[in-house]
Structure 1
Amino acid sequence: MNVPSPAPALVALDGVRKSYNLGRPSEAEVLHGIDLRIGRGEFIALVGPSGSGKSTLLNILGLLEAMTSGSYRLDGEAVQGLGDAALTLRRRRTLGFVFQFHHLLPAFSALENVTLPALMAEGRIRAAQRERARDLLAAVGLARAMDKRPGELSGGMQQRVAIARALVMDPPLVLADEPTGNLDTASSAEVFALLRRIHAERGTAFVVVTHDPRLAARCDRLVELVDGRIARDEAVVQAGAQSMPDAPPP
């Protein structure tokens, strides 16, 4: 009987190290041989104390920073050694980003901000992409705010625009760096519930960097970095997951 081989991991890191030359005789190593697999549709919390290497690891996953040594396969393809143009293409095709600060362009409407990745990728916005942006804004509860500029929106609403922007190119993986860290408790719960709903409905994989143990407890898997090494990688037991209530769907 032939047993089908498992699908390749969306992300496969093997022995990834990262060092910085700080002007000292020897380099400072921040990541010490990271081995990590991320499958399609996973929802992962990346946690650890300040200085543990979380941001560095997220930047490497996002092709924003080169590793010093090791192997990184993204969606089955090796990325080490690729030039800037090839890395940019891989990033646009495979990855979405949500940051602590939404980084919306203040002179652009919500709809225009969401369509920016399509404009940057192709130099124009096709009708289908504009329609997808409209659908995404409606999905995140902003159907009536598409023409508003960021300054006319609350912090939680601005982060919803940023989430729609991260999804407009339909990436299989979204990297979220403290996506609720700049929000009040109610808005934080609302935005996190939205990420979970998108994950459930679209099957998008998420890696969420967070210092909030309540949010980490509502992810499916927890990866903890300590001093540049993976100290823990385990499934999350969902007991108490409702301590931060879900926001109602829009």
Structure 2
Amino acid sequence: MSTPAPADTAVPLIALRQLVKRYNLGQPNEVEVLHGLDLRVAPGEFVALIGPSGSGKSTLLNILGLLERLTDGDYALQGQSVRDLQDQALTLLRRRALGFVFQFHHLLPAFSALENVTLPALMAEGRVSSAQRERARALLGAVGLAQAMDKRPGELSGGMQQRVAIARALVNNPPLVLADEPTGNLDTASTDAVFGLLRQIHEERGTAFIVVTHDPRLAQRCDRIVELVDGRIARDERVPPGAGQRG
């Protein structure tokens, strides 16, 4: 196993301690998917999460995103343990602290790009303020879609749709964005453009990213690689500067 990346002495953004996830608890077919993971991610890190299919990446990302509960161990987000939080508290924390970008953009086809970006604000507060709408406009401008705000997803290319999804993930200004194969459905040119945009956002805004990818080329463009194999961390190391071509 590789030497773990050095721990940050400040309060970590993410701290996992002996995290375990089991399914079908108490049943004959009970299965343990994650086996005692220890992991710390500092604010502002850009981390690639890699590993073969079935290694537990999606399960871990769902737990980090507060979409699934852990079975044993602990998970602290911004210093707050989430283990015993009730569903409503988890929902509020998710809306405040997390943004999500998925392989499939999950845009609502009947809504414009601008309306799709404002959805998290609408869900969080039940309304969209003028300030939030202006922030959504600014984000769409930042991802190169200033001229496409009123277009619906069906009028946009795949790369443009994913840019809308990235703007949507940022509209509530979360400290952490979880990206699950965000370029998995894109061609090479769009992949490079979208991944370069994630790096740009990270560098300009200090947003932390955890990016699940099967593409070793993209992993080398991150600052740190965490590899899962059979539900355990097999590698956790910094990427040497210049090891991958930066977008």
Shorter-chain TM-score range? over 0.9
**Structure 2: how far apart are the matches of 1:100 and 1:108?**
19
Q: By how many angstroms is 1:119 displaced?
A: 0.2
Unaligned residue ranges in structure 2 (runs of 5+): 1-7
Deviation at 1:237? Answer: 2.0
Structure 1 vs Structure 2 CA RMSD: 1.4
The 5 Å alignment of 1:45-60 reads 45-60=48-63
Counterpart of 1:105 in structure 2 is 108
Q: What residue is the counterpart of 1:230 in the other structure?
A: 233
- TM-score, scaled to structure 2: 0.95
Specify the alignment match of 1:96 in structure 2.
99
Aligned-pair distance for 1:23?
Answer: 8.7
**1:19 to 2:58 alignment:** no
Partner of 1:133: 136
Q: How far is the alpha carbon of 1:83 from its aligned partner?
A: 1.0
Pick aligned residue for 2:127 from 109, 124, 128: 124
Determine helix, strand or coil for the equivalent of 1:117: helix
Structure 2 residue matching 1:133: 3-state secondary structure: helix
Amino acid at match of 2:14: V
The answer for the alignment partner of 2:155 in structure 1 is 152
Q: How many residues align?
A: 240
- Rounded Cα–Cα distance in structure 2 between residues aligned with 1:143 and 1:77: 37
Q: Encode CA deviations 1:99-122: one digit per residue, 9 max, x unaligned.
A: 000000000000000000000000
Q: What secondary structure is seen at the aligned counterpart in 2 of 1:118? A: helix
Name the structure 1 match of 2:164: 161
Query: Which SS does the other structure have where 1:241 is aligned?
Result: coil
CA offset at residue 81 of structure 1? 1.2
Report Cα offsets for 1:56-109 as digits up to 9, x if no partner: 000000000001111111011111111111000000000000000000000000
8 Å Cα contact 1:217/1:238 also seen in 2:
no
Q: TM-score, normalised by structure 1?
A: 0.93
Q: Is the 8 A contact 1:218 1:238 kept in 2?
A: no
For structure 1, the residue ranges without an aligned partner over 5 or more in a row are: none
Runs of 4+ in 1 over 4 A off after TM superposition: none
Identity of aligned residues (%): 76
2:117 to 114, 118, 134: 114
Alpha-carbon distance in structure 2 between the residues aligned to 1:51 and 1:72: 22
* Matches of 1:130 and 1:186, distance apart in 2: 30
Partner residue, 1:186? 189
CA distance in 1, matches of 2:18, 2:152: 44
The aligned amino acid for 2:86 is: G
2:81 to 56, 78, 91: 78
Q: Tell me how far 1:240 sits from its aligned partner.
A: 4.5
